[in-house]
Chain A
Amino acid sequence: MNSLLNSDNILFTSAFAIQFISIAFLFIKDQHKALFAANTVLLIGLTLGLFSTISSALFSSAEISLQSIFFNFIRLDELGTFFLFIIQLVAIPTTIYNFSYLSHYIEENRSIKSFVIFYVLLLISTQFIVIANQAILFLVSWEIMSITGYLGMMLEKEKEEVQKGSFYYFAASHVLIFILYIMFFLLHQQTGSWFFSDYHLSFSTGIVVPIIFILSFIGFGIKAGFMPFHFWLPQAHPIAPTVLSAFLSGVIIKMGIYGILRTYLFIKPVPEWAGWFILIVSIISAIFGVWYALAQHDIKRLLAYHSIENIGIIGIGIGIGFIGSANNLPAVEVLGFGGALLHTLNHAIFKSLLFIGSGVVYQNLGTRNIELMGGIVHRAKYIAILFLIGSVAISGVPPFNGFISEFIIYTGFFKTANELKNFYPILMLMFVVGLAFVGGLAVACFTKVNSIMFLGSERKAVKHFYTSIYDYISLGIFALLCIVIGFYPQPFVGIVNKVIVSNFVSSHPSSALINIDWLFFTIIFSIIALGIFFLFLLKGKLEKKFGKRTSPAWGCGYENINPRMQYTASSFADELNEISKSVLVYHKKVEVSNTAFPLPSKFESHSNDFVDSKIVLPSYKFLSFLVMKIKFLSQTDIRYYIGFILIIITIYSLIAFLW
């Protein structure tokens, strides 16, 4: 092809090359300089990559024609480009945060060079996953992504919780890749090709395609964190370095979503049971994800459960899309997949914002326990505001971006009910209520987080709250994206619509997504924002006129309020946690002395994961019990092993002889 030296192609390839080259700068001896150089080069590479992605067919009329450069190994179709866009968009601010985050470690005299190498490889392999057009390349990139993620998590490897949590991640990734191997071998066996562009299967051809679908859902679902397979997420996210947990939660679990959508493209149209299956799994993930989140005290673990919730919401969108595909309703399809894709982008943005925000707090306070935080708003006002923006966005409250994607999913529900009359309206109504419930719990949860963490007075004395310019840049970019997508969703909706129209909908694409009057949102949100602004002005004026009265936070009339008298995270969520005690595995331990003279009293509450404590660990114990039963076969003497070989050979020969 003559387009080999096309400027777009050069830009695209050099973006990857520059990202890769950044590793070389780690040879600089001084750690601060090495970090600065490598990170800057990585940022340049990522920015170039983002430019080249934006200049691709999905976003403009110019086209990147990499189709044939690497022997068809790489293909930039709309779905892949969209995810590439998400990865690069999230990676840039996260990498900016690297400057300040890792310099903390350098000041503690730790080596961060290996972490940076793993981080760079993680970014590159993740980008390769979405542009791979060949199963082996895909699987290899996937494996590199998993392993570098694991190695990156081991930054503080001397801590016991880090070893435990990262092992969860490693084990889950291991199982997952095994399932993916089976799935791709089945695909290869069905089509005789390793290239994604050759995979066109149909559900009507037999039992293999449903098996492929189920395998893909389990395999990619483990990565994405759908409810029965989510158990590794709350273990791995808290212990990962903040940069990594932001990227992990923002992007890597989205690779599971990418995988499910990619598999859908291989086997579309799907039957309706597949849609219901995903819908039910997703609504369970969403409800229990947020409910578990409410019971957590560890800020990062809480955010990890919120990732499960949001993956559930994305899954609901995919489920609606599947139902639309089964009934050949392009309008439903467009709304379902559109909501899912836009929520993928949105969640990547605000979840990274929240993780990085919590990382800033963690670095200053040295704890992830919400119960020990408080009053941070008096130390770092802008961090609190930026975190609040992320919280509002993740709760799906207007005017930020979370609302837009959830709105599309709600519209999808109503559209389904409208188009498929019969018993659908009542079922859809149930799902609407479920999703609304999720939204309500999310608001409750983030009210808890923001009020306990940022408001009130300090529970733990903080000498100096240090924030660097990089923190603000990184959080600011994310917050800006939240606001932009919230206030002006048209271009993003347009992009999502383009992805779906080109890949997902087979015939007569519907314009249901772009026909929503998005301009109304812009106008209404602007009015709300202006209203708030004027209220603030009014408040300022009134304060000037009448003066400002201050009293201790949540004083409620008490004179000598002390930090221990404040609401705590567990007391805030107690009522809600009591309801679902058994599912949440929620324990409370109260020790009140009942003696004449008061003795110290104690209160403890914690929640274990149901799947982890009731399914995964017991089955692991059972497995190890079984393995111990056959341990007598493990002998010290080589002669026994040769005897075993002889027995096996005899059995084989007998079978061959008698066959």
Chain B
Amino acid sequence: MENVLSILFSLSLFYVSVTSRVKGYVAVLRFQGLILSVLVLLPFLKNFSIFGIILPITLLLVKVILIPSYINKIILDLDIKRVIEPTIQQIVFLLLVIATMIVIFISSSVIAQSTELNVIPFASGFSAIAIGIYIIIFRKKLIVHVCGFLVLENGIFLFGTAVASELPMMIELGVLLDVFVVVFLMGIALNKIRSTFEGFEVTDLGRLKD
């Protein structure tokens, strides 16, 4: 079951690398959040406990509802153009993503021979980290950077579940809070940036350099 979910997660990464609409990114974030919530919920279906349910519910709340709707709100409020502005062609980006994922999946299976880990969640998480960074590098819009950062964070989450069987719940919750605060601050910053700069592209921020 974990493997199926991880593969679904990986497929969403392909979608995120070809879509040219900001809405698409938000939808992927929702989808990934849902997968992660289910993934965390799985162990607790076997032996149910009231504390075990806290993490999936919070995850669902933050990653599926709060953050995506907040980003949508920012897009509406600030009237950001709905298309992303890639710096390289989408097909090249896709090929880069595929190449990276191949390398990661193969090397993960090699690593798995010597250590105890779930190959597919591990490799999917790792890929998400790489692709989150790629999104930040190859896209110009600040709001897309936020999405890239969130993809990266999802990757770390998945990666964590694959490596250690269970991270302590408090740490997971803490990370969630961090991410939420970061996104929140980003929204505030974007609002402030609008009053100074015309666009929402990182190249504009280069003018801030001393």
Measured CB to CB, the residues of A under 8 A from B are 635-639, 642-643, 645-646, 657
Contact = CB atoms under 8 A, between A and B. Distances in A.
The 3 closest A-B pairs by CB, nearest first: A636-B206, A636-B209, A646-B133
A639 B136 contact: yes
Contacts, number: 28
Main secondary structure of the interface of A (DSSP, over half): helix
A637 B203 contact: yes
A636 B130 CA distance: 23
B111 A642 contact: no
Contacts of B206: 635-637
A638 B133 contact: no
Nearest to A644: B137
Interface in B44-75: none
B202 interface: yes
B13 to A, nearest CB: 16
B205 interface: yes
Contact of A657 (B111, B137, B138, B207): B111
B107 A639 contact: no
7 contacts: A635-B206, A636-B203, A636-B207, A638-B202, A642-B137, A645-B133, A646-B134
Interface of B: 107, 110-111, 130, 133-134, 136-138, 202-203, 205-207, 209
A22 B97 CA distance: 67
Contacts of B111: 657
A638 B107 contact: no
B199 to A, nearest CB: 14
B107 A646 contact: no
A530 B101 CA distance: 98
B72 to A, nearest CB: 24
Nearest to B148: A642
Given A646-B133, A657-B107, 6 more contacts: A636-B209, A637-B203, A639-B137, A643-B137, A645-B133, A657-B111
A526 B138 CA distance: 89
A657 to B, nearest CB: 6
B192 to A, nearest CB: 17
A510 B205 CA distance: 74
Contacts of A645: 133
Contacts of B202: 637-639
A530 B110 CA distance: 96
A643 B136 CA distance: 9
A638 B141 CA distance: 12
Contacts of A646: 130, 133-134, 137
Contacts of B110: 657
Nearest to A658: B107
The listed residue with most A CB atoms (<10 A of its CB), out of B110, B134, B136, B202, is B136
A642 B107 contact: no
Nearest to A645: B133
A646 to B, nearest CB: 5
Contacts of A639: 136-138, 202
Contacts of B205: 636-638
B128 to A, nearest CB: 14
Contact of A642 (B133, B203, B207, B209): B133
Contacts of A657: 107, 110-111
Nearest to B209: A636
A40 to B, nearest CB: 47
A645 B149 CA distance: 14
A658 to B, nearest CB: 10
The listed residue with most A CB atoms (<10 A of its CB), out of B130, B137, B203, B209, is B137
Contacts of B203: 636-637
Nearest to B205: A638
B152 to A, nearest CB: 10
A645 B138 CA distance: 14
A419 B25 CA distance: 87
A453 B209 CA distance: 54
A104 B110 CA distance: 78
Contacts of B137: 639, 642-643, 646
Nearest to A646: B133
The listed residue with most B CB atoms (<10 A of its CB), out of A637, A643, A646, is A637
A657 B207 CA distance: 40
B127 to A, nearest CB: 13
A451 to B, nearest CB: 54
Contacts of B138: 639
Nearest to A654: B107
B113 to A, nearest CB: 13
Nearest to A657: B107
Nearest to B100: A650
Contacts of A638: 202, 205
B208 to A, nearest CB: 8
A164 B203 CA distance: 38
Nearest to B136: A642
A636 B209 CA distance: 6
Nearest to B110: A657
A645 B136 CA distance: 12
A504 B36 CA distance: 69
A643 B139 CA distance: 12
A255 B124 CA distance: 59
A73 B137 CA distance: 52
Contacts of B130: 646
A270 B136 CA distance: 59
B86 to A, nearest CB: 12
Nearest to B201: A637
A635 B133 CA distance: 18
A638 B137 CA distance: 8
The listed residue with most B CB atoms (<10 A of its CB), out of A635, A642, A643, A645, is A642
A636 B136 CA distance: 15
A642 B134 CA distance: 9
A649 B166 CA distance: 25
Nearest to B142: A638
A637 B205 CA distance: 7
A646 B134 CA distance: 9
Nearest to B138: A639
A95 to B, nearest CB: 43
Contacts of A643: 137
A424 to B, nearest CB: 62
Contacts of A637: 202-203, 205-206
Contacts of B134: 646
A156 B140 CA distance: 49
Contacts of B136: 639, 642
A646 B96 CA distance: 14
A636 B203 CA distance: 8
A563 B111 CA distance: 89
B165 to A, nearest CB: 22
Nearest to B206: A636
A214 B134 CA distance: 48
B162 to A, nearest CB: 16
B148 to A, nearest CB: 9
A127 to B, nearest CB: 42
A642 B152 CA distance: 12
A639 B205 CA distance: 11
A642 B107 CA distance: 23
A636 B202 CA distance: 9
Contacts of B133: 642, 645-646
Nearest to B139: A639
B17 to A, nearest CB: 15
A635 B137 CA distance: 13
Nearest to B203: A637
Contacts of B207: 636
A639 B207 CA distance: 14
A518 B205 CA distance: 77
Nearest to A656: B111
A568 B136 CA distance: 71
B163 to A, nearest CB: 14
B154 to A, nearest CB: 17
